[in-house]
Structure 1
Amino acid sequence: MAVGLLIITHNRIGEDLLSTARSMLGRLPLETAWLPVSQSGDPDDLLALATEYHRKLDVGDGVLVLTDMYGSTPSNIATRLLHYPKTQVIAEINLPMLVRVLNYPQLRLHELVNKAISGGHDGIVLCETEC
């Protein structure tokens, strides 16, 4: 078994990140779902869909939920999933975070959370000269 990955973002951000990660890695080694959240979407309907995705992704090892801007509708939907066992939510997804997660599909949920956070943090670099 493996951890499931649910990405909840504004519009097509999650789809674009997943597409880019897939092209870099050749495949997505974790069961993954993406939920786009638009300005016109009903939060209750989106929560119901997020819950359904979570249910399908949780095969026993838990679900890691990555979302974009903390405090926004996507992250508010994501944090409402925290009442499910073995669920962790990380806000502020970026491509280094996602690639790091996908490079360690064998890890348990708490270990994958640490990899995600380190990947996101380490991926932020100030380029004053050539990096």
Structure 2
Amino acid sequence: MSVGLLLITHNRVGEELLNTATTTFAHCPMNAATLGIGERCDPDALAREARERLLSVDSGEGVLVLTDIYGSTPSNIANRLLDEGNVIVIAGLSLPMLIRVMNYCRLSLPELAQKAASAGAEGIVLSTAETRMP
């Protein structure tokens, strides 16, 4: 068994990131689901849907929930899942973060959350003409 993964994002951002990461691995190495939040939505209905998706990916090891922008509607819905039990939410979803999570999918939920957070931070690189690699 492994930790489940739920991406809650604006529109289809999570779906596209998951599809991209999955093609890198040729398959998705963990139970994963996405929930896209549109411009017009019912947060209570989406919170219920998020809970259903959370339960569908939880094999007993907990669920890592990744969301795009802290404080946004997707993030607020994700944070409502914290009361569901063994759940950790991280905002700032990026492709480097998602790929690292998939690379380390056998870690415990707290360890996996640390890997995700470090990948998010390390995935930001400022390049200038002076600092570019030859």
TM-score range, shorter chain: over 0.9
What is the number of residues matched between the two proteins? Answer: 131
Q: State the Cα deviation string for residues 42-94 of structure 1 (Å, max 9, x = none).
A: 11111010000111111110000000100000000000000121100000100
Give yes or no for the alignment of 1:15 onto 2:15. yes
SS of the aligned residue for 2:88 comes to: strand
Give yes or no for the alignment of 1:52 onto 2:59. no
Identity %: 53
Q: Which runs of 5+ in 2 are unaligned?
A: none
Deviation at 1:19, TM superposition (A): 1.1
For 1:1-131, what aligned pairs fall within 5 Å after superposition?
1-129=1-129, 130-131=132-133
Bigger Rg over Cα: 2
Q: What is the TM-score normalised by the length of structure 1?
A: 0.97
Give the Cα–Cα distance (whole angstroms) in 2 for the partners of residues 31 and 90 of structure 1.
17
CA RMSD of aligned residues (A): 0.9
SS of the aligned residue for 2:34 comes to: strand
- 2:47–2:77 Cα contact (<8 Å) kept: yes
SS of the aligned residue for 2:115 comes to: helix
Moved over 3 A (4+): none
SS of the aligned residue for 2:84 comes to: coil
Q: State the Cα deviation string for residues 10-38 of structure 1 (Å, max 9, x = none).
A: 00110111111012121110100000000
Amino acid at match of 1:43: P
SS of the aligned residue for 2:33 comes to: strand
